[in-house]
């Protein structure tokens, strides 16, 4: 009999539980939801299972503190770790989260040796590197989620500013998922037209800045944690591209080996996502200023990577 797809979500907090819910709603497969806090994954898992009769879902969701139940997963999404509080940068989470991500990867990867790992935990590009080192998986099967969210935020702001349907918008964001990310207005469009043709420089600068600080904006509002609805939708979108082998081009954090003039670190670039993970990387021409901004973003990630000791 054909085996159903299986997706493991590690960390049953705000992002993890919302990601599990999205994945179930999208009918991508069975879900194993793991957390260290006993009772939380079990409770959320059972709660989600009890929504199946109403939503007409079948398949399975299991909440657990044991990695045994994750065996044979096609996709592993790592959301375990601390989230930002007001005033904190993503990098402030580095040391504590590196330990957590290493621990989760060490337990999950051997049980699902063919899986694609999607890393969400911040600082995400550095954490993707940690997961890649600890799992020993080929780098194309360890991918970070950041660009999908950053591009979604930029699209939202373009749509608000121009008063047009968000469906008509496209956004392009490169680089690390940190304060130095590189939104690229020249490659961001409304109905295929670059926004540089349609909007004033001031409006564009405002959108670029709001995209860069989009995470912090939510942290300041929530005060007790960081964003999770859009991050969960982003992680689920990546899981769908992998599970359905869509070859969908999405901005993802991948290990660079010379692309865009950079190598040896994870950074966000456009990638075709399919069953094999990051199956193809796409390079576009950058202006000198864009390249400089991309290099600075990559340098910041590299520094973080080196500080982890992995």
Ligand X SMILES: NC(=O)c1ccc[n+]([C@@H]2O[C@H](COP(=O)([O-])OP(=O)(O)OC[C@H]3O[C@@H](n4cnc5c(N)ncnc54)[C@H](O)[C@@H]3O)[C@@H](O)[C@H]2O)c1
Closer by beta carbon to ligand X, 61 or else 227 = 227
- Interface positions, 136-195, toward ligand X (CB under 6 A): 145-146, 149, 177
Minimum CB separation from ligand X for residue 61, in Å?
16
Q: How far is the CB of 234 from ligand X (least distance, A)?
A: 7
Residues 214-253 that bind ligand X (CB under 6 A): 225-228, 231
- Rounded to whole angstroms, the Cα distance separating 214 from 124 reads 15
Q: Is 2 among the residues known to form the active site?
A: no
Q: How far is the CB of 173 from ligand X (least distance, A)?
A: 11
> What does the DSSP 8-state code read for residue 175?
B
Binding-site member from 20, 28, 35, 116 for ligand X (CB under 6 A): 35
Q: Which of residues 246-285 bind ligand X (CB under 6 A)?
A: none
Catalytic residue among 84, 177, 212, 302: 177
- Residue 118, sorted as left (phi over 0), alpha (psi -120 to 50) or beta, turns out to be beta
Say how far apart CA 37 and CA 51 lie, in whole Å: 23
Query: What residue spans of 136-173 are helical by DSSP H?
Result: 147-162
What mask, x for binding ligand X by CB under 6 A, covers residues 64 to 103? ---------------xxxxxx--------x---x--x--x
Sole binder of ligand X in the list 21, 70, 112, 121 (CB under 6 A):
121
Q: Return the number of the residue (124 or 250) whose C-beta is nearest ligand X.
A: 124
Instruction: Report the C-alpha gap between 242 and 207 in whole angstroms.
Output: 30
Cβ-closest residue to ligand X?
A: 13
Collapse the DSSP code of 131 into the 3-class scheme (helix H, G, I; strand E, B; otherwise coil) and give the result. helix
DSSP E strand boundaries for the chain:
6-10, 30-34, 61-64, 75-78, 116-119, 142-144, 169-170, 173-174, 182-183, 189-190, 193-194, 248-257, 263-274, 277-281
Collapsing DSSP states into helix, strand and coil, what is residue 4?
Answer: coil
As measured in angstroms, the least distance from the Cβ of 56 to ligand X is 27
CB 35 within 8 A of CB 13: yes
Q: Give the binding site for ligand X (CB under 6 A).
A: 10-16, 34-37, 40, 79-84, 93, 97, 100, 103-104, 120-122, 124, 145-146, 149, 177, 225-228, 231
- Report, as residue numbers or ranges, the catalytic residues: 177
């Amino acid at each position: 009999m054909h085996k159903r797809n299986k997706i493991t979500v590690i960390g049953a907090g705000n992002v993890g539980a919302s990601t599990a819910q999205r994945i179930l709603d999208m009918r991508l497969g069975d879900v194993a939801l793991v957390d260290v806090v006993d009772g939380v994954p079990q409770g959320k898992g059972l709660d989600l299972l009890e929504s199946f009769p109403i939503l007409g879902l079948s398949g399975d969701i299991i909440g657990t503190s044991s990695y045994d139940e994750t065996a044979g997963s096609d996709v592993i999404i790592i959301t375990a770790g601390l989230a930002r509080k007001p005033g904190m940068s993503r990098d402030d989470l580095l040391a504590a989260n590196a330990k957590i991500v290493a621990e989760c990867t060490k337990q999950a990867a051997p049980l699902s040796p063919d899986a694609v790992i999607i890393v969400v935990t911040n600082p995400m590009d550095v954490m993707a590197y940690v997961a890649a080192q600890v799992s020993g998986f080929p780098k194309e099967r360890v991918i970070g989620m950041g660009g999908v969210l950053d591009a979604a935020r930029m699209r939202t702001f373009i749509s608000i500013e121009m008063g047009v349907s968000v469906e008509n918008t496209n956004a392009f964001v490169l680089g690390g998922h940190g304060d130095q990310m590189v939104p690229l207005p020249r490659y961001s469009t409304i109905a295929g037209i670059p926004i540089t043709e349609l909007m004033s420089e001031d409006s564009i600068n405002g959108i670029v800045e709001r995209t860069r600080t989009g995470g912090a904006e939510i942290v300041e509002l929530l005060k007790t944690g960081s964003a999770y609805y859009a991050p969960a939708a982003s992680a689920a979108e990546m899981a769908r591209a992998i599970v359905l082998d869509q070859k969908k081009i999405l901005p993802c954090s991948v290990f660079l080996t010379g692309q865009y003039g950079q190598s040896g670190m994870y950074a966000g670039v456009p990638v075709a996502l399919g069953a094999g993970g990051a199956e193809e990387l796409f390079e576009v021409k950058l202006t000198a200023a864009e390249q400089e901004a991309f290099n600075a973003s990559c340098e910041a990630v590299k520094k973080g990577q080196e500080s982890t000791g992995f």
